[in-house]
Amino acid sequence: MKTLWRRARIATLAGEAGWGWIERGALMADGEAIAWVGAEADLPRGLVLDAEHDLDGALVTPGLIDCHTHLVYGGHRAREFELRLQGASYEEIARAGGGIRSTVAATRAASDEALLATARERALALLGEGVTTLEIKSGYGLSAEHEARCLRIARRLGRELPLAVRTTCLSAHAVPPEYEGRADDYIDAACAWLPSLHAEGLVDAVDAFCERIAFTPAQTRRVFDAAKTLGLPVKLHAEQLSDQGGAALAAEYGALSCDHLEFLGDAGIAAMARAGTVAVLLPGAFYFLRETKRPPVDALRAARVPIAVATDHNPGSSPVLSPLLMLNMACTLFHLTPEEALRGMTLHGALALGLPDRGTLAPGQRADLAVWGVEHPNELAYWFGRNPCRGTVIAGRECVR
Ligand code: NIG
Ligand code: FE
């Protein structure tokens, strides 16, 4: 199946820097991959096409890649939001047994159907704003049975919706109540159930939360060793609320990404640069927790660490379903340029998932596109509260809003 999209303004993001701009562009997909992209005037003559679409000057970019979400969970935490507005901190609420643990209770109590329905609605919201590849973490089940259940639901979304879903096992997210005071025993258990989750094909990567209110670097290392034994890549929620040296530890394991990173120091940056680990910035969580310490963007740039941007959609620290708002906040709060922000949610998001076949528009890449009713890609970071997405193309197939 050969499909041509013509009369487009195209930002390919191919090449080290710049938008990869094509003013009067055309793009052809052959099956699931891009076969040709360039100026319409240079289109090869005599093409035999199965379908042709006139985009009438619309903007085409690579499909957005949301490389960090916790999409499958029960309930919400609006009451905690109120408590935080009255002065309670995220850490205080977590230590008092709320936070992640309250979502674990709601998730365990929810039926498969309810978890699937709410996650589907969230995934559709992301798809409607240009997302074509989505990562979903477990981490609100925290038992062999419930972690498997949440990962199966994530896989099912990938089968039933047009977008591509990558799953990450985040059993080391918090200590569940039945292991209160026995974090090491819980890590033993989580490492022991990982092989069966992997054998069932439920795990693309393994993540952990290395923090004062979660797991120590030593416990994180055990999780990473278990992943390594299975040949699974790792990622880490690192230096979100304090500098635990998590980024350097993750880099030692060749981590795909370290995420959050507000408290990242020079040693962590150097280690990530050496390992080629992506820095995933999450402005939604920074904003919603009213953090004041920004991630070290200048130093990450200087060290040439690829910077990605994601929603971190979750009920506690980032209940956002707008990837475009994250592009805006990456610029306003973290001082990325609009081009860096878009690259962060396309090419660098793909790297953070270990998916080199997407994130730019070039021959041979997966034909994952987003079509926008704006003139220039800098507008994707400029407007907020507006969704100019006209539709997406995923693996060569049109998916109209
Ligand atoms: O990425 N930092 C840890 N995990 C999530 C928040 C989880 C929650 O509060 O439910 C995050 O921000
Ligand atoms: Fe997260």
The confidence band for 401, taking pLDDT boundaries of 50, 70 and 90, is: low
The confidence band for 210, taking pLDDT boundaries of 50, 70 and 90, is: very high
Helix (H) or strand (E) run with residue 189 in it: helix 183-199
- Record the tokens describing residue 307, joined without a space: 């910077």
What residue type is 133 in one-letter code?
A: T
Q: Relative to the CA of 73, which ligand 1 atom is closest?
A: 10
How would you class 108 by CB atoms within 10 Å of its CB: exposed for 0-12, middle for 13-18, buried for 19 or more?
middle
pLDDT value at 400 more than 90: no
Separation between Cα atoms, residue 366 and residue 29, nearest integer Å: 9
Model pLDDT, residue 165: 98
Model pLDDT, residue 87: 95
Model pLDDT, residue 17: 87
Find the 43 Cα to ligand 1 centroid distance in Å: 48
Q: Which ligand is nearest to the CA of 91?
A: 1
Q: Which ligand is nearest to the CA of 74?
A: 1
Find the 337 Cα to ligand 2 centroid distance in Å: 23
Q: Relative to the CA of 100, which ligand 1 atom is closest?
A: 10
The residue-averaged pLDDT of 100-129 equals 98
Model pLDDT, residue 166: 98
Find the 268 Cα to ligand 2 centroid distance in Å: 19
Mode of pairing for the β-strands spanning 307-309 and 369-372: unpaired
Which mutation among 91, 210, 237 tests ligand 1's pocket best, with the greatest number of atoms within 8 A of CB?
A: 237
As for ligand 1, residues whose beta carbon falls within 6 Å of it are 99-100, 103, 209, 237, 240, 285, 312, 314-318
pLDDT value at 53 more than 70: yes
The full DSSP string for 95-125 is HTT-THHHHHHHHHHS-HHHHHHHHHHHHHH
Helix (H) or strand (E) run with residue 35 in it: strand 33-39
Q: What is the pTM of this model?
A: 0.98
Model pLDDT, residue 16: 86
Find the 312 Cα to ligand 2 centroid distance in Å: 5
The confidence band for 73, taking pLDDT boundaries of 50, 70 and 90, is: very high
Q: Relative to the CA of 316, which ligand 1 atom is closest?
A: 9
What residue type is 247 in one-letter code?
A: A
To the nearest whole number, what is the mean pLDDT of the chain?
97
Q: Which chain residues have CB less than 5 Å from ligand 2, an ion?
A: 312
Q: Which domains does the chain have, with CATH numbers?
A: 2-63+361-400 (2.30.40.10), 68-352 (3.20.20.140)
The residue-averaged pLDDT of 296-324 equals 98
